[in-house]
Amino acid sequence: MLDRVVVVGAGVVGLSIARVLSALEGLEVVVVEKEADVGWGASKANTGIIHSGYDDDPVNYPNRARLAVKGNRLWTTWAEQLSIPVDWCGSLVLARSSEDRRVLKELLARGIRNGVPALRILDGEEVRLLEPMVSEDVAEALWSPTAGVLSPYEATAALAENCVENGVKILTETLVKGVRVKDGSVEGVETSRGFIGAGWVVNAAGLYADEIARMAGVSDYTITPRRGEYLVFDKDAGPKPSRILFPAPTPVSKGVVVETTVAGNLMIGPNAVDLPRDAKEETYTTKEGLAYVWREASKLVKKLPGKREVIRVFSGLRPQPSGGDFIVRVLEELEGFVEAAGMRSPGLAAAPAVALEILRLMRLNGLDHGFKKRWKAERRAGLRIMDLGWDMLEKNVSRNPSYGRVVCWCEGVTEGEVVDAIRRGAKTIDGVKFRTRAGMGRCQGAFCRLRIAAILARELGKPIWSVTVKGTGSELGVGDVKSLLEGEDVAD
Amino acid sequence: MRRIEVTCILCPVGCRLTVTEEDGEWKVEGYGCRRGLAYGLEEAQNPSRVLITVIPVDDGELPVVPVKTSKPIPKNLLLKASKALAGLRVKAPVRLGQVIARNLLDLDVNIVATRSIKARRDRVEADGQK
Amino acid sequence: MPTRRVDLLVVGGGPAGLAAAARASELGVRRVALVDERRWLGGILPQCIHPGFGLHRYGRDMTGCELAEKLIDRVSSLDVDVYTEAHTVRMGYESYLSKTAEVLTPRGAFRFRAKTVVYAAGARERTCFEAGIVGSRPAGVYTAGEVQEMMDVWGILPGREAVVAGSGDVGLIVARRLTLEGVKVKAVVELMPYPGGLLRNVVQCLEDYQIPLLLSHVVLAVEGSKRVESVLVAEVDENLRAREETVKRIPCDLLVIAVGLIPRVELLAGAGAVIDPKTGGPVVNEFLETSLPGVFAAGNALVINDLVEHAMEQGELAAESAYRFIEDGGFRSASWKRVRVGDGLRFVVPQLLAGFRDVKLYLRASSPSENARLLIPELGKSVRLRSVRPAEMITLTLKAEDVLKAERLTVKLV
């Protein structure tokens, strides 16, 4: 068996698995990703919540229930090791009716059963002590202190950096077209960049996991794209909650959340609309969807800021598995094929636990590599100039003046930080954006996009018009400003 | 008789002018002031505009320099003129007012730079510039 | 962090800021510093390569970039400390004669302690999200100013087939510019039943190039995953709501967002200045002083202007006021009257008058009309305006003695 594992998909789950596997001696880990950067599927477009794990029914969805709780606990270590900022602010599930209150009791019971610590149902008065901005009709709430929020794209980038530091190869813009199977075991993957031989193929392909599975001859599940839309407010818009606010959940979803992101923006969303299976790229926002999110979010709090304070809307697709539960398994009849699929909510929370579970399953099925003597658990985050005190800031600027050259005025991101991001793997404008926050402010990049592009053009040695927003096909422009006129036959 | 409808652009009122020509005699109706009368005739007989565009710069701090024609050119030649300039390049430094090209389309009109572009520094600093 | 003590700090080196710094220096204000975020001065002017600037003031029809160099040369010849690539992180009001600004530059961070500030930080463009456009978020959706900068500063062709959302002047000018580089501008889509920009621009930018202007239409959504592939456009009813049955798809690879400008006042608001929701800029008195004593505002940060001359004269007035403030140690108390904005007008600037001097009011009409009357009933003032367009700022000068004699002031357009 080849000492190489190919992980299909560089989302938060795929990279968590790669991280864990990178600790093994003598095993080459290659992550293949069809997009131009890591984490551009479901991983970048979600609430960023590390759920505590009371939501998932252990009878119907045992993987979700088990791995969410375990993952939540593991994130406390992983986040620290990887320098991923997490706001462990806790969450409140708000009950506004007697039906809601009945649901809270169910969630509490389920949470206890799943092993979630510190859950408690609070009365209205206590709720308001924890969160003054909840709406008047909130009668009770399920308080879960172990829930937290992080920036999901920051987390994915951190995982990717740590993986690379530990020898993992991440191949972006590499599409898996086939899984080669011979005599009941995998031999590798056919990709848009050629064949990669491997003894193990880990399917962490998110929305496309069912298609990867089918390439390997596995067809016992399907993945449906479930769209969720979000609205993000300006940092100065408030009031902003200090806890994650949930409505009482329905069987379909946890409902529209009101939260403050780690960066300090009020964010509301998502709704949950199932799309046809061929709509896996339709991250559209819709008038109806956004209106629904607004309406539902308004029910949880006394007051949302004015619509004028919304700076961005976006949507993400969750990979909803046909059976509802995570598919975390090794198949008896197909040696070397491992699956971590259907990673809908609480996929982000469960990711570290999924990774360890995958390792355990692989061990049970022939992976006998020992651990490396030297493995870097820690990853140092890049500088964020605006978070430094003036003394540290001035030291950095005098050492490197590009840390004093602000290129994104809204978020205060400097050229030095942009260059760092490029050195850490950003090759696109969005890649820089997700690592530095440049372009995430009020003006949404109208002022800084071209400055960022100029830096990318310089660092990557390409013409500025060819710098892409999000990979091949999304170039900033179509050519030099004269390219249409020069290309034309002058015919008048 | 020829009849042309023109909207005067000299002031916000935007008088709608009707310019007619019969047997070589031109008449303008609808103007609110003398300037409008003159404009109406000019627009009907010989409408002209200043052409503005950019010209690629070699070795400059910026890749293009904005330019304009030294005087208005016939309106119907604007697109042709723009295409005619398409292959033109200029080497930095460029000074505001510098004549980049002469006698565009044989119209006795020059192409003049409207911004100064310095030559790019030889050393490309890691921080972009010092 | 080194402290720089100045008499006047000008925040923003566009036309308003440059005019302010030059005027202050010429008046004799001793220590004048000017900070700007960009690598070069001029604000938005260097990317305005079209003519139409400076006609009233200089008698010459200049391009924006030519005017910029003229203003920069004037400042360079004076004793003004200019800081470029200088990002103001925070502004603060310490006391009546001391305002602070923390500024980051590649050469280090500075704290300015200024007796007075002229805030001329300009405006930003409204985004596609603020325009309510939904759908996908591909490459190829740019604001009009961004398109200008792409083409005319960085030499990038933004697309081959464009739709422009909004018919304000910036959108019209960009539509023409794109056409001259060979881009097919398929439509300019305007929500209102009348164009947002000046008629002269509608003629010179759209009619001259047969670019269709779709009035009473709105861009609803963008389609395309990596790059814009098309936009959905619909007609709107009298309530500006889209008529679903009229939705049509326009294939294009570039959507230009030209739906208006918003004053950049975050630093001012952060320092505690009161903002007028009607203008989006600070409330100012006839000295152009904000609610922060000795902090003055000018240019697009004060109110969205359409003529650069207005931005410049605001800058100069702000500088004169700052000079007076420094010389006299502040302004004396007076009875300030709030100008009430009546029917037919969107705003009036300045918002507070006391009659210290003659004052130029800047007003904008809510909708177009012919033969309108601008009325100040308390002064018995009535001015006939032959042709009124929201795109064209109305100005009106009031004499100091008129302001003094009125108890209150209302301006309306009928």
Per residue of chain C (414 residues), what is the pLDDT tens digit? 899 999 999 999 999 999 999 999 999 999 999 999 999 999 999 999 999 898 878 888 899 999 999 999 999 999 999 999 999 999 999 999 999 999 999 999 999 999 999 999 999 999 999 999 999 999 999 999 999 999 999 999 999 999 999 999 999 999 999 999 999 999 999 999 999 998 888 988 999 999 999 999 999 999 999 999 999 999 999 999 999 999 999 999 999 999 999 999 999 999 999 999 999 999 999 999 999 999 999 999 999 999 999 999 999 999 999 999 999 999 999 999 999 999 999 999 999 999 999 999 999 999 999 899 999 999 999 999 988 989 999 999 999 999 998 889 999 999
* Cα–Cα distance measured from residue C60 to residue A97, given in angstroms and rounded to the nearest whole number: 71
The pLDDT of residue A488: 64
CB-based contact C69 B13, cutoff 8 Å: no
Dihedral-angle region of residue A325 (phi above 0 means left; psi in -120 to 50 means alpha; beta otherwise): beta
From C107, C136, C156, residue closest to A477, measured CB to CB: C156
Residues of A in contact with B124 (CB under 8 A): 458
Dihedral-angle region of residue B17 (phi above 0 means left; psi in -120 to 50 means alpha; beta otherwise): beta
Show the CA angle centred on residue C257, arms to residues C255 and C260, nearest 5°. 170
From C105, C139, C160, residue closest to A475, measured CB to CB: C139
Tell me, yes or no, if B10 comes closer than 8 A to chain C by beta carbon: yes
pLDDT at B9 over 80: no
What's the token pair of residue A477? 């422009």
* Cα–Cα distance measured from residue A106 to residue A478, given in angstroms and rounded to the nearest whole number: 56
Inter-CA distances, C192 with C197, C211, C239, Å: 11, 17, 10
* Cα–Cα distance measured from residue C151 to residue A464, given in angstroms and rounded to the nearest whole number: 11
Residue A145: cis peptide before it, omega within 30 degrees of 0: no
Residue A164: HSE in the Cβ half-sphere, 13 Å Cα cutoff:
16
Residue type, C201: N
Tell me, yes or no, if A415 comes closer than 8 A to chain B by beta carbon: yes
The pLDDT of residue B45: 86
Tell me, yes or no, if C152 comes closer than 8 A to chain B by beta carbon: yes
The pLDDT of residue C66: 97
* Cα–Cα distance measured from residue A248 to residue C66, given in angstroms and rounded to the nearest whole number: 62
Q: What residues of A are labeled active site?
A: 51
What's the token pair of residue B5? 């409808």
> C376: helix, coil or strand?
strand
Tell me, yes or no, if C377 comes closer than 8 A to chain B by beta carbon: no
Helix axes C308-328, C64-76, angle to 10 degrees: 20
* Cα–Cα distance measured from residue B42 to residue A373, given in angstroms and rounded to the nearest whole number: 86
Considering only CA atoms, which of C208, B1, B35, C368 is closest in space to residue B17?
B35
First to last CA, chain B: 67
The pLDDT of residue B126: 41
By the 8 A CB rule, do A404 and A414 touch?
Answer: yes
The pLDDT of residue B127: 46
Instruction: Pick from C156, C184, C278 the residue to mutate for testing the A interface (most A CBs within 10 Å).
Output: C156
Considering only CA atoms, which of C188, C168, C7 is closest in space to residue C81?
C7
* Cα–Cα distance measured from residue A70 to residue A111, given in angstroms and rounded to the nearest whole number: 13
Which residues of B have a CB under 8 Å from any CB of A? 54, 56, 63-64, 79-80, 82-87, 124, 126-128, 130
The pLDDT of residue B12: 62
Considering only CA atoms, which of A441, A356, A371 is closest in space to residue A407?
A441
Cβ atoms within 10 Å, residue C168 = 27
By the 8 A CB rule, do C283 and C270 touch?
Answer: no
pLDDT digit string (tens) for chain A, length 492 residues? 579 999 999 999 999 999 999 999 999 999 999 999 999 999 999 999 999 999 999 999 999 999 999 999 999 999 999 999 999 999 999 999 999 999 999 999 999 999 999 999 999 999 999 999 999 999 999 999 999 999 999 999 999 999 999 999 999 999 999 999 999 999 999 999 999 999 999 999 999 999 999 999 999 999 999 999 999 999 999 999 999 999 999 877 889 999 999 999 999 999 999 999 999 999 999 999 999 999 999 999 999 999 999 999 999 999 999 999 999 999 989 999 999 999 999 999 999 999 999 999 999 999 999 999 999 999 999 999 999 999 999 999 999 999 999 999 999 999 999 999 999 999 999 999 999 999 999 999 999 999 999 999 999 999 999 999 999 999 999 999 999 998 865 443
Q: Does B52-126 carry CATH code 1.25.40.420?
A: no
> C349: helix, coil or strand?
strand
Give me the DSSP letters along B72-113.
-EEGGGHHHHHHHTTT--EESPB-TT-EEE-SGGGSS--EEE
Residue type, C249: R
The pLDDT of residue A490: 43
Residues ≥6 apart with Cβ < 8 Å to C305: C299, C311, C314, C362, C393
* Cα–Cα distance measured from residue C341 to residue A436, given in angstroms and rounded to the nearest whole number: 43
Residue B93: cis peptide before it, omega within 30 degrees of 0: yes
* Cα–Cα distance measured from residue C62 to residue B75, given in angstroms and rounded to the nearest whole number: 19
Residue A132: cis peptide before it, omega within 30 degrees of 0: no
Banded model confidence at residue B125, pLDDT cuts 50, 70, 90: very low
From B10, B52, B82, residue closest to C51, measured CB to CB: B52
Buried (b) or exposed (e) across A163-191, using 16+ Cβ within 10 A?
bbebebebbbbbebeebbbeeebbbbbeb
Dihedral-angle region of residue A74 (phi above 0 means left; psi in -120 to 50 means alpha; beta otherwise): alpha
Tell me, yes or no, if C108 comes closer than 8 A to chain A by beta carbon: yes
Residues of C in contact with B50 (CB under 8 A): 51
DSSP state, B116?
Answer: -
By the 8 A CB rule, do B83 and A488 touch?
Answer: yes
Mean pLDDT of all residues belonging to chain A = 96
User: Nearest residue of A to residue B62 by CA position?
Assistant: A454
Considering only CA atoms, which of A38, A32, A159 is closest in space to residue A431?
A38
Cβ atoms within 10 Å, residue A112 = 12
The interface residues of chain B toward chain C in range 20-79, judged by CB-CB distance below 8 A, are 32, 49-54, 56, 62-64, 66, 68, 75, 78-79
Banded model confidence at residue B121, pLDDT cuts 50, 70, 90: confident
* Cα–Cα distance measured from residue C141 to residue C149, given in angstroms and rounded to the nearest whole number: 14
The pLDDT of residue A156: 98
Residue A270: cis peptide before it, omega within 30 degrees of 0: yes
pTM for this predicted structure = 0.95
> A98: helix, coil or strand?
helix
The interface residues of chain C toward chain A in range 156-185, judged by CB-CB distance below 8 A, are 156-160, 181-183
What's the token pair of residue B18? 């009707």
* Cα–Cα distance measured from residue C224 to residue A287, given in angstroms and rounded to the nearest whole number: 17
Tell me, yes or no, if A405 comes closer than 8 A to chain B by beta carbon: yes
The pLDDT of residue A491: 41
The pLDDT of residue A125: 95
What is the nearest CA distance from C194 to chain B, expressed in angstroms? 14
* Cα–Cα distance measured from residue A247 to residue A93, given in angstroms and rounded to the nearest whole number: 5
Instruction: Pick from B64, B65, B127, B129 the residue to mutate for testing the A interface (most A CBs within 10 Å).
Output: B127
User: Nearest residue of A to residue C146 by CA position?
Assistant: A446
DSSP state, A23?
Answer: T
Tally C-beta pairs within 8 A across A and B.
36
What's the token pair of residue A151? 């920036």
CB-based contact C109 A484, cutoff 8 Å: no
Domain ranges for chain B, please list them.
Answer: 2-46, 52-126
* Cα–Cα distance measured from residue A48 to residue A58, given in angstroms and rounded to the nearest whole number: 23
Burial class (CB in 10 A: 0-12, 13-18, 19+), A489: exposed
By the 8 A CB rule, do C104 and A406 touch?
Answer: yes
CA B27 to chain centre: 28
The pLDDT of residue A376: 97
Dihedral-angle region of residue B107 (phi above 0 means left; psi in -120 to 50 means alpha; beta otherwise): alpha
Tell me, yes or no, if A23 comes closer than 8 A to chain C by beta carbon: no
DSSP state, C300?
Answer: G
By the 8 A CB rule, do A221 and A210 touch?
Answer: yes
Residues ≥6 apart with Cβ < 8 Å to B89: B55, B56, B57, B58
CB-based contact A477 C266, cutoff 8 Å: no
The pLDDT of residue A199: 96
The pLDDT of residue C54: 86
* Cα–Cα distance measured from residue C256 to residue C142, given in angstroms and rounded to the nearest whole number: 5
Q: Please give the sequence-ordered ranges of beta strands (E in DSSP) within A167-234, or none if there are none.
A: 169-171, 176-182, 185-191, 194-197, 200-203, 223-233
